[in-house]
Amino acid sequence: MATAEEQQDPRIARISSAIRVIPDFPKPGIMFQDITTLLLDTKAFKDTIDLFVERYRDKNISVVAGVEARGFIFGPPIALAIGAKFVPMRKPNKLPGKVISEEYSLEYGTDIMEMHVGAVEAGERALVIDDLIATGGTLCAAVKLLERVGVHVVECACVIELLGLKGRERLGDRPLFVLVNST
């Protein structure tokens, strides 16, 4: 299990407190972890990116895949800093070119995630990034899309892990790195 919190990196406390919790969004009972306030704290946002960059810069990663839409906020700065490409993983009908699709389950019903054909090549080493992991359904779909075309997913990386929703379990033996845990 990998979290930066365990090593007590001094930057984590400020990152954690910059995240705003919004009760009952999008529905009653959910405590929504709002990272937009983190993006307003220039030091905490920079530290967030730096923590990921420090971890991945020497791991020969050529692909950073970011899950729509909040993965688009964290992924590109990491990709730019480590010399990787950025690949957006999107909701259906957003990507204009030929795509491959992966269906995944939601609490009620299913959704679909898409990636452009040709964006990645077999044998590339990838990171998958999103702001948060809850049940792990979205991250798992992204991982599967990449694995289907022969990419090796080195790790999934999130700012926040919501404990108790078995997201880590759903990823199986694929490594997960998070900065902050929340219950």
Q: For residue 102, give the nearest of 112, 115, 89, 92 by alpha carbon.
A: 112
65 and 102 in contact (C-beta within 8 Å)? Answer: no
CA separation for the pair 100, 80 (Å, rounded): 25
Name the one range near another protein by CB under 8 A: 10-18, 110-118, 152-160, 166-174.
110-118
Q: Which of 55, 70, 90, 168 is catalytic?
A: 70
- Residue 86 found at the interface with another protein (CB under 8 A): yes
CA separation for the pair 35, 18 (Å, rounded): 8
Identify residue 167 by its one-letter amino acid code. G
Least distance from C-beta 80 to another protein, angstroms?
6
CA separation for the pair 139, 34 (Å, rounded): 18
Q: Which of residues 139-168 bind another protein (CB under 8 A)?
A: none
Least distance from C-beta 6 to another protein, angstroms?
26
Residues making contact with another protein (CB under 8 A): 20, 22, 25-26, 32, 34, 36, 39-42, 45-46, 49, 68-70, 72-74, 76-77, 79-80, 83-88, 90, 93-98, 116-119
